[in-house]
Amino acid sequence: MAIESVDEEQFKTTSLESVIDNPKCTQCGSRIVLITDHFSGERVCQYCGQVVSEEDTQASFELFAGSPKMSHKMRTSVASLAHRDRGLATRIGLMNKDASGHVLGTAMSSRFGRLRTWDARVYANNPDYRNLQQAFKKLVILRDKLGLSDSVVERAAYIYRKAQRKNLVQGRTMSAMIAAAIYGSLREMGASRTIDEISELSNVKRKEIAKAFRVLVFKLDFKVPAADPIKHIAKVAHKANISERTKRHAISIMYSLIKKGFAIGKDPSSLAATALYLASRDTGEYVSQKNLAAVSGKSEVTIRMQLRELKKRY
């Protein structure tokens, strides 16, 4: 695609930075140019405002990287709490050249070699730095296994840093504290993940994660919202291949149970399996308790006990 210059008046009205030729707009059908927003990666029709394509990151990067305004920002890495140095550390590189590209002399190379050695020793002799380095390696591994978003990872790193400053990591395994921090951040974000799932993927016993999580809650005054059983319905229904009609009916049943106070103190996964079982009976899909117990990670006895309690109370 050929890149054309933007008229000054057009730039003021659209606050965008370039236009790209397009033979035809999908909304109005006219052969006009499309305005591209480099920040969002969206291509918008000049006249009707229709978003033709989204997240054109490659074109945006190629155009944006050459601008002098952003050249100094692209030299550094992104600041993140999930990095041991928060992405802001300055290290002495291995290249013995100056800013002009000339090779340093023998005396200067020896001096920088000595400075490089002491720079590495400063980081290596810091126990907090080494602890964060190992902990965040485990955090990255769990992020890939669980498919966590960046916001969840950042929150988990913040919780772990806070626990380290209060010396809560001492006497406990690093893996359990990282898993507990991830579980706490997931609870805060409202994600429907259980301790059993994190325990299975992190190879840490459920008891250790639960114990570390209780330490975080009580010592850090960590406010954890109650788990939403409605979000667990979609998760269990997807694993059990239940139809959308049954899932929506189960959600309406869950809303009525929450209003009546039945969901207080109940495990959200088992409660979601119970609501799906009742909904399947009403819609005629007839999903077995054994299947629901297997996909929700609970036992058939738990589902039957909740069904009996429902019959007694309602």
Mean pLDDT of 110-126: 79
Mean pLDDT of 197-223: 88
Between residues 93 and 282, which one has the greater pLDDT? 282
Mean pLDDT of 192-208: 87
* pLDDT given at position 208: 92
- 284 band by pLDDT with thresholds 50, 70 and 90: confident
**Of 161, 164, 209, 213, residue with least CA distance to 188:** 213
Mean pLDDT of 160-170: 88
Per-residue tokens: 48: 């009707």
**Of 229, 143, 148, 139, residue with least CA distance to 177:** 139
A 10 A CB-CB count for 184 gives 23
* pLDDT given at position 77: 55
Q: Is 247 exposed, middle or buried (0-12, 13-18, 19+ CB in 10 A)?
A: buried
* pLDDT given at position 53: 64
DSSP assigned state of 74:
G
DSSP assigned state of 5:
P
Q: CA torsion angle for 189, 193, 195, 198 (degrees, to 10)?
A: -100
Whether the per-residue pLDDT at 114 is higher than 90: the answer is: no
Where do the domains of the chain lie, and which CATH numbers do they carry?
Answer: 3-65 (no CATH), 128-219 (1.10.472.10), 229-313 (1.10.472.10)
* pLDDT given at position 30: 65
Per-residue tokens: 178: 């990282």
Q: What gap in Å lies between CA 182 and CA 144, rounded to an integer?
A: 13
Q: Which of 15-24, 180-189, 210-219, 298-307 has the lowest mean pLDDT?
A: 15-24
Q: What gap in Å lies between CA 139 and CA 145, rounded to an integer?
A: 10
Whether the per-residue pLDDT at 234 is higher than 60: the answer is: yes
* pLDDT given at position 13: 42
Buried b / exposed e over 204-225, threshold 16 CB at 10 Å, is beeebbbebbebbeeeeebeee
- 31 band by pLDDT with thresholds 50, 70 and 90: low
* pLDDT given at position 24: 64
A 10 A CB-CB count for 187 gives 19
- 209 band by pLDDT with thresholds 50, 70 and 90: very high
* pLDDT given at position 87: 66
DSSP for 158-207, please give it. HHHHHHHHTT-STTS-HHHHHHHHHHHHHHHHT----HHHHHHHHT--HH
Question: Are the beta carbons of 31 and 24 closer than 8 angstroms?
Answer: yes
Whether the per-residue pLDDT at 46 is higher than 50: the answer is: yes
* pLDDT given at position 89: 67
A 10 A CB-CB count for 16 gives 19
Whether the per-residue pLDDT at 310 is higher than 70: the answer is: yes
Mean pLDDT of 178-184: 92
Question: Are the beta carbons of 163 and 157 closer than 8 angstroms?
Answer: no
**Of 232, 235, 301, 243, residue with least CA distance to 269:** 232
Whether the per-residue pLDDT at 20 is higher than 90: the answer is: no
Whether the per-residue pLDDT at 295 is higher than 80: the answer is: yes
Phi-psi region of 295 (alpha: psi -120 to 50; beta: other; left: phi over 0): alpha
Bridge partners, residue 35, by sequence: 19, 44
> Residues with Cβ < 8 Å from 246, sequence gap 6 or more?
237, 276, 279, 280, 283, 285, 287
Residue carrying structure tokens 């209003």 = 259
Share of the chain above pLDDT 90, in %: 6
* pLDDT given at position 179: 93
Question: Are the beta carbons of 44 and 34 closer than 8 angstroms?
Answer: yes
Mean pLDDT of the chain: 76
Whether the per-residue pLDDT at 76 is higher than 60: the answer is: no
* pLDDT given at position 241: 87
Strand runs labelled E in the chain? 3-4, 18-21, 33-36, 43-45, 51-53
pTM of the model: 0.59
Residue type, 97: K
